[in-house]
Structure 1
Amino acid sequence: MRGRDKAIIKDLERFRCLSRDDIIKLHFSGIKDGVNAANRVLRRLRDRGEVEVITSQSPYVYAIKPSSIKRDSQKIPHYLEIAAVYHQMAELRAPDVFVPEPKYGKGMPEPDAFALWGKPMFIEVQRNQFTPSVWAEKFARYRTLFHRGTITKEPWQNPQAPVFPLLIILTEHRIPIPEGLPFKVFQIRSISQLFK
Structure 2
Amino acid sequence: MNKRDMAIIKDLERFRVMGRDDIVAIHFGKLKNPVTSANMVLKRLARDGQIEVSKSFSPFTYFPAGSTMKRNSTKIPHFLSLVDIYKQVTNYYTPRTFQIEPKYSKGLAEPDIYTEFNGTSFFIELQRNVYSQKVMDQKIERYAGLRYSNDFKLKQFPLVLMVTSTRYQIKNKDVRVFQVESIHEFIRNVRKSSKTTTKPAQPVIKYKLG
Q: Identity, % of aligned pairs? A: 42
Q: Find the counterpart in structure 1 of residue 199 from structure 2.
A: none
| CA distance in structure 2 between the partners assigned to 1:61 and 1:33 by the alignment | 20
Deviation at 1:109, TM superposition (A): 1.2
For the residue of structure 1 that corresponds to 2:152, the secondary structure is: helix
Aligned-pair CA distance for 1:133: 2.6
Q: Does 1:168 align with 2:161?
A: yes
Aligned match of 1:190: 182
Query: Secondary structure of the residue that 1:116 maps to in structure 2?
Result: strand
Instruction: State the distance in 2 between where 1:184 and 1:42 align.
Output: 41
1:2 aligns with 2:2: yes
Q: TM-score, normalised by structure 1?
A: 0.90
| Whole-Å separation in 1 of the counterparts to 2:113 and 2:163 | 11
Tell me which amino acid in the other structure corresponds to 1:183: V
* Structure 1 stretches lacking a partner, 5+ long: none
Q: CA deviation at 1:187?
A: 0.5
User: Structure 1, residues 34-76: CA drift from partner, whole Å, max 9, x if none?
Assistant: 1111111111111111211121212111001211210110110
Output the CA distance in 1 between the equivalents of 2:48 and 2:173.
Answer: 50
Aligned twin of 1:143:
144
Misfit runs of 4+, over 3 Å: none
1:149 deviation in Å?
4.5
Structure 1 position 6, deviation (Å): 1.0
Asked whether 1:98 is paired with 2:91, we answer: no
Q: How many residues align?
A: 187
Aligned partner of 1:168: which letter?
L
Aligned partners of 2:125 and 2:179: how far apart in 1?
Answer: 10
Matches within 5 A, 1:76-115: 76-115=76-115
The CA distance in 2 between the partners of 1:140 and 1:68, in whole Å, is 32
CA distances 1:60-119 after superposition (whole Å, capped 9, x unpaired): 110012112101101101001001001011111221211111111222211110110121
The aligned amino acid for 1:23 is I
Check if 1:120 corresponds to 2:121: yes
Structure 2 runs not aligned, ≥5 long: 190-210
> Is the aligned partner of 1:45 residue 2:42?
no
Give the aligned residue type for 2:67.
Answer: S
Partners of 2:12 and 2:105 in 1: CA distance: 23
